[in-house]
Amino acid sequence: MKHALSTLFPSAFFCLLCGCATTSLHDAPPAPDQPWAATSDEHGMITPPQSQHLHHHKGLALPPGYRLPTDYTLPHQDTPLHLPPDHSYSLPELVDIAQSSSPTTRVAWNAARDSALATGLTRAAYLPQLTASVIGGYGHLNTHISNSTMHGSPRLSGEGEVQALSLSWLLFDFGKRSASISAAQQNSLASNILFTGAHQKVVYEVTSAYYLTIAIEAHIHLIEQALHNTRAIERAVKARLLNGQATVIDTARAEQATAQAELNLVQTRGDLENHYLALMTAMGISPTTRLSLQKEADRALTVHDVTLSEKMVQESVARRPDVLAAYAKARASRSQIQAARAEFLPKVSLSGNAAYGVGHLGLSGLGSSPLSVNGNGFGGLILGQITMPIFDGGMRQAQLKRSKDQADSADAQLRDTRYHSVQSIVSAENTLHTGVSAYQAAQKIEHTAQTAFDAALASYNTGEGSVTRLLDLQTSLFNATIMRSDSYYTTLIAAASLAFATGSLGDANAVQNSITDPYEATP
């Protein structure tokens, strides 16, 4: 028996060691180049790996490979917004829908609320902590006494209850709580600023996606015009072929140009659908939502003689959400240093309690009448306490060092954000000037290309010129119209980019202002 016990205990101890935390590594993929063997239930829901000796039910095993099952328990997408399909939505209306529907703005809003609640939790450190407790119990004891004078089995029983109210109040901590509150307030301020920045980003993304979609629609219109021109050329070539003034090669080239235009039209219509889906996604609504987009009238784009001065750039940087949020986080990190330094100083606190107790004690079995004792009482205590940290293994010093390192990183992040902000502002301004100049040049190119094509087509219809030259002029005209259209919408996006870079793209009205005068919102 003794030998069996000597082998049983080591075996049990070994089994206990086998169940340590490292055995959970079996739940992870076995190697970086091997697939993870997932399991799913009868509904297709992927379930965590279960230990066989804890759960006897085994999930459905998946075939090997980097492919996951379809989880039919995944919640369906939200019901699409019921938007009037017969209404043509302008850009400001699309922006308004996006600001209320975008998941990005909701996530930023929840983050701002969490930061505000964190500030409230930090403020609670100034308030006393009250704790109520109730303790009750019952005890019973049987004994046997045998001597020359006393015989019997005395029984002792008792019960009691204590109701207590405890108080703990930190009175003075050399500024640790105030520093922690200041850090929480600055972090909350940063979250609120980033919430504003999230809205500005949504406005910019919707604006860019809208103009890209409208630009593709313009492409379709221009390709249809090019298709009309190539068909006119094809008809003219076939007419000359009947008169013996053209060759089969000329006809084939004309038909090839028409087929190429038809192919471009099909491909561009596919691109339009992709850009429309991107616009719906940027708005934060279901891509299956079908909306009619209102195309804005073309605007006269002119080169502005005004350029952003150094002062204007710095003032623009000072209102960018990313810069202001980084600045708030830098201030929060400096407050954390003050809180870490306060840990080296003593703390003054007050504690106390008030208690009310009720008890009963009974003694019987001694030959005499039973003895019963009842009692109750009320008591209270107030204590003052001063605690001074002396040694903690370097924990406070390490925390102070961490706070200083985090503050240094926050300052470096602020500088980096400022530099990138200046770069984005100047780059957006250069892109805007380049876009306006390119648009004006493209207008001239389109005008000359149109004149040359019209003249060549008229000459060809009268029997002069070659189809090769006519097709080349048609290609030049098509490229010129595409260039003019692209430069126009690129300039509109550049104007919105400049407003976004300067922190001025705050709402739907700012979108229109960024187009009419991108410098209007700048200082």
Q: What is the pLDDT of residue 202?
A: 94
pLDDT of 14 higher than 70: no
pLDDT of residue 152: 58
Residue 517 has pLDDT above 70, yes or no: no
CA distances from 83 to 199, 272, 275, 508 (A): 21, 21, 20, 18
pLDDT category at 55 given cuts 50, 70, 90 is very low
Residue 26, phi then psi, degrees to nearest 5: -65, -20
Q: Tell me how many domains the chain contains.
A: 2
- The yes-or-no verdict on residue 380 having pLDDT over 60 is yes
Per cent of the chain over pLDDT 90 is 41
- Is residue 422 located within the same domain as residue 473? yes
The answer on 304 and 205 residing in a single domain is yes
Q: pLDDT, tens digit, for every residue of 177-229?
A: 999 999 999 999 999 999 999 999 999 999 999 999 999 999 999 999 999 99
What are residue 163's DSSP bridge partners?
Answer: 134, 356
- 370 and 226, same structural domain? no
- Indicate if 511 and 411 belong to the same structural domain: yes
Amino acid identity at 330: A
Let me know if residue 48 belongs to a domain.
no
Predicted local confidence at residue 47, as pLDDT = 76
Q: Angle at the Cα of 414 (from 412 to 415), degrees rounded to 5?
A: 65
For residue 344, tell me if it sits in a domain: no
In sequence order, what are the beta bridge partners of 349?
Answer: 170, 385
Question: Which letter does DSSP use for residue 70 in this model?
Answer: P
pLDDT, greater one: 42 or 380? 380
Mean pLDDT of the chain: 83
Q: Considering the domain boundaries, does residue 419 fall inside one?
A: yes
Dihedral over Cα of 445, 451, 457, 463: its sign: negative
Amino acid identity of residue 376, one-letter, is N
Same domain flag for 168 and 279: no
Taking 70 as the threshold, does the pLDDT of residue 19 lie above it? no
> 225, 481 in Cβ contact below 8 A?
yes
pLDDT value, residue 310: 82
- pLDDT above 70 (res 301): yes
Residues 283-304 have a mean pLDDT of 80
CB 497 within 8 A of CB 515: no
Q: Phi and psi dihedrals of 385, rounded to 5? A: -140, 135
Please check whether residues 510 and 438 belong to one and the same domain: yes
Question: Which residues are CB-neighbours of 483 under 8 A, at least 6 positions away?
Answer: 438, 442, 445, 446
Contact 142, 343 (CB under 8 A): no
| Domain extent for 301 | 184-330+407-516
Q: Are residues 420 and 310 in the same domain?
A: yes
- Read off the pLDDT of each residue in 133-148 and give the average, rounded to a whole number: 69
Residues 214 and 314 in one domain: yes
Model confidence over 414-463: pLDDT tens digits?
A: 999 999 999 999 999 999 989 989 999 999 999 999 999 999 988 888 87
**pLDDT (tens digit, 9 = 90+) per residue, 56-93?**
444 455 555 777 777 778 777 665 567 787 888 889 89
pLDDT tens column, 490-514? 999 998 999 999 998 877 676 666 6
* Residue 523 counted as domain residue: no
Report pLDDT for 136. Answer: 78
Q: Is 237 part of a structural domain of the chain?
A: yes
Query: Is there a single domain that holds both residue 381 and residue 482?
Result: no
Residue 268's CATH number: 1.20.1600.10
Q: Given this model, what pLDDT does residue 32 score? A: 75
Q: Is 372 inside any structural domain?
A: yes
Report yes or no on 50 lying in a domain.
Answer: no
User: Do 354 and 318 share a structural domain?
Assistant: no
User: CB within 8 A of 123, min separation 6: which ones?
Assistant: 181
Q: Which of 442, 446, 438, 425 is nearest to 505 (CA)?
A: 425
How far is residue 50's CA from residue 61's CA, in Å, rounded to a whole number? 12
pLDDT of residue 52: 45
Would you say residue 36 has pLDDT above 60?
yes
The pairing of beta strand 60-61 with beta strand 145-146? unpaired
Domain assignment of residue 484, yes or no: yes
If one counts every other C-beta atom within 10 angstroms of the C-beta of residue 282, the result is: 22
- Which value, in Å, is the radius of gyration of the alpha carbons in the chain? 40
Interior CA angle at 78 toward 74 and 83, to 5°? 160
Classify residue 314 by burial, with Cβ atoms within 10 Å: 0-12, 13-18, 19+.
Answer: middle
- Binned at pLDDT 50, 70 and 90, residue 523 comes out as very low
Looking at residue 68, what DSSP letter applies?
P
Does the pTM surpass 0.85? The reply is: no
pLDDT of residue 348: 92
Q: Does residue 191 sit in the same domain as residue 168? A: no
Strand partners, 167: 130, 352
* Cα 393 to chain centroid, rounded: 39
Nearest C-alpha neighbor of 479 from the set 448, 501, 523: 448
CB-based contact 387:349 (threshold 8 Å): yes
Rounded mean pLDDT of 102-123? 92
Residue 259's H or E segment, with its range, is: helix 248-283
What's the confidence (pLDDT) of residue 53?
A: 45
Specify whether 360 is located in the same domain as 239.
no
Choose the weakest-confidence range: 4-13, 164-173, 475-484. 4-13
Mention every residue, 6+ apart, whose C-beta is less than 8 A from residue 393.
none
Q: Find out whether 253 and 47 touch, Cβ atoms under 8 Å.
A: no
Which residues, at least 6 apart from 430, have a Cβ–Cβ distance to it below 8 Å?
A: none
Residues in the chain: 523
Least confident segment among 341-350, 367-376, 381-390: 367-376
